Structure 1
């Protein structure tokens, strides 16, 4: 019954948005209320459940997305994004623009959340689309796939790190093994998916207000050094914080690094730097720079509302007992711990949309099976992590970020994102099984 409720709610959401053309924000809230009523959540508590879901989601993403969009627009309106895009084009050539996006995304995405890295890199992708005349998905999709792979498979991202702690696995070994799986799989799918006929048939345009429409001359653009420095500044801060988190020593200095390396603070500092570097330093007035920030904020309003409503929908599913039902139903299954961990993570991901809930619950279910099984705990971490990326759809707030930035319809977003995340999860499981077998043969 609980899984039937999930299925009906997803179909209802698709009907509301595709046939009735209801706004995504309103449709998500309407379906969330319906699910809450069906699952027996007290009527008086429903507003609080919705608010909690919106608050948790917006609290995690609003500062990151809002500040990141402002940084991107300031760089775009000053010509800095075009300078970086032109440099990538010169280094790789127009025919290898996808390779450039994959390499850039994987290097940045190793330590950064999907949403944070997405917001930082997407202005460059938009600029490459405009400069080269390529289709938006041809350039943007490899970026998103590469970031999804890094975020889902590898520590120090929160899901794999939390599961590593549950299984008492080595974070370093998990990262080492995960790179051998994530990099080739992510690259393969990132370069294959945009070439599929049903993807090539889609021709979305860049959303208005998120990128400058102006084409700059070489003399008008800022230098490459400043452009790269500002774009990589938050990456350096966040990486420093990630490394600091692994330190065992306690000191005020480490706490300061952790503070300035948190995504919102890092992006706030980057915005301040960008305002000066691409404002007064190059002769632009603060009024012009402020107008860029305002334009970015206006363009982000509906995106943030839809993402928040996706968080409300997710929270209703969790509070409605869906995850507990799945946990109880799968505890007696007698299959390989690796496969079981992956299957449970996939089911929870499909039902709830939350990768975090999926990995935490799945690891708790299979933890008793790990002792005495002979399975390497690092492989269990990777199995749960790759299962949690599967089937991203309408109950996943990340789905809505992807949909809105690439200006897709709900059906188009499902065709693109749901398929690539599912194939990535399936191939990831196969690679984990092969890796586990290889470690056994080598007695490692």
Structure 2
């Protein structure tokens, strides 16, 4: 559903959005109304207050809900299936033990974060986080302490790669809109993401993790006294097998990226059957489905009958229903804010701020991110707003890449209740809304600011 022209002045639209967020926080944190009900209720009232025609309110709500579920539900479902198989067979523990053996117990969060940076190169934030969940829980179970000590640096790795580095859709769309070079953006983006992750996600994540101790429900939990479980652990898969299973979706998605890039460059025909096949199997949900099927075939011999896989996977799917619904409702709320025209109202008032282009890019992306929640929408909208100024300035590929990073930084900070990723992190790691604001929102903000500082320094220093 396309955004409407704003029905009220900009300040009124922003006031509506602020009040909606405040009411949502009160309902969830103070009244203790279920998050799913609160999100749906506030979305409906906000849609009406923002001037969306009453007859169009259900469509506006369902558009945001269904688009979020379409991108999240399959990824979460297949991801937890894979995680459950790795946990039940002892594979997650094997990987955790090997990483800890290589890095040491004190560097366990660093080990998980570095692994996530590598796996996060082609995999979206949602999919990467879900695939890594059993490993995070396995490490936390072994060493104790807050789950956030291990979860926040890992989630921050996926967030950094997703926001800054092509082939993720946000930076690709922004670089394309600004007339930049995707390859150059990729080459510069990788070190920028890593350098920003160290202070912005790793150090901050460990600091926050030591101060907050939620008690999440481990969706991969197994019965330690079960005889079959003990037999499975005795016949746990090798480290190489686990790594290959985790790398399989990365390879498939990577092939999709390569082929799509070659097709866009005209090096490969879009009608080539083999290319279409690689693009298909490299779609994230399809890649994860293939990986789950391969995991069943590879892990079942000597550990569990293939027929018992259904029971194992059912045990994984049950606990995540609430997570998926709440995440979808968060997407609904963000979708209503977008459809209401709040983003357009901001765009109209902020398109010419009369300041440095890189600062302007960051501020516009930040305000769009706060107003409507979607980082990708903030990236693409901001790039479109400043594209004329970029073209008039005649900037080179390096400077355009820095602008992309500044926009990505603004689109990362201040994740809150209108962001579906906020709810994914909140529910998986057992945090209430206030705790999530004090941890995940803070981490996303420090990560985004770190990216912006690096981009700004390079903007000034490099001629």
Asked if the contact 1:350–1:392 (Cα under 8 Å) also holds between the matched residues in 2, the reply is yes
Residue in structure 1 matching 2:87, options 64, 71, 76: 76
What's the counterpart of residue 328 of structure 1? 348
Equivalents in 1 of 2:211, 2:436: separation in Å? 13
What TM-score comes out, normalization by structure 1 length?
0.95
Moved more, 239-248 or 257-266: 239-248
**Structure 2 gap segments, 5+ residues each:** 1-11
CA RMSD of aligned residues (A): 1.5
Q: Does 1:172 align with 2:183?
A: yes
The answer for the alignment partner of 2:444 in structure 1 is: 421
For residues 195-237 of structure 1, the C-alpha deviation after alignment (integer angstroms, 9 at most, x for no partner) is 43x5423112232433435386863312222222212211111
Q: Distance in 2 between matches of 1:347 and 1:216?
A: 52
Change (3 A) 1:333 1:45: same
Structure 1 match to 2:273: 252
**Residue deviations 1:149-198 (CA, integer Å, cap 9, x gap):** 111011110000001110110111111222222111102233312343x5
1:212 maps to what in 2?
A: 222
Deviations 1:268-296 (A, max 9, x none): 111111112222x1241234322221011
The more displaced of 264-273 and 214-223 is 214-223
The corresponding residue for 1:378 is 401
Question: Structure 2 residue aligned with 1:96, among 107, 113, 119?
Answer: 107
- Cα distance in structure 1, aligned partners of 2:428 and 2:69: 17
> Do the aligned partners of 2:146 and 2:209 also contact (CA within 8 Å) in 1?
no
Counterpart of 1:265? 286
Which segment drifts farther, 50-59 or 203-212?
Answer: 203-212
Deviations 1:35-54 (A, max 9, x none): 01101112121111111111
TM-score scaled by length of structure 2: 0.91
CA–CA separation in structure 2 for the residues paired with 1:170 and 1:152:
17
Counterpart of 2:8 in structure 1 is none
Given that 1:146 and 1:187 are in contact with CA atoms closer than 8 Å, whether structure 2 keeps it comes out as no
1:240 aligns with 255
Q: CA deviation at 1:385?
A: 1.3
Distance 1:169 1:108 in 2: 25
Counterparts in 2 of 1:213 and 1:3: CA distance versus 1, 3 Å: farther
The partner residue of 2:197 within 186, 200, 223 is 186
| Number of residue pairs aligned between Structure 1 and Structure 2 | 438
| Contact 2:200–2:449 (8 Å) recurs in 1 | no
Asked if structure 2 preserves the Cα contact closer than 8 Å seen for 1:88 and 1:100, the reply is: yes
The alpha-carbon deviation at position 374 of structure 1 amounts to: 5.2
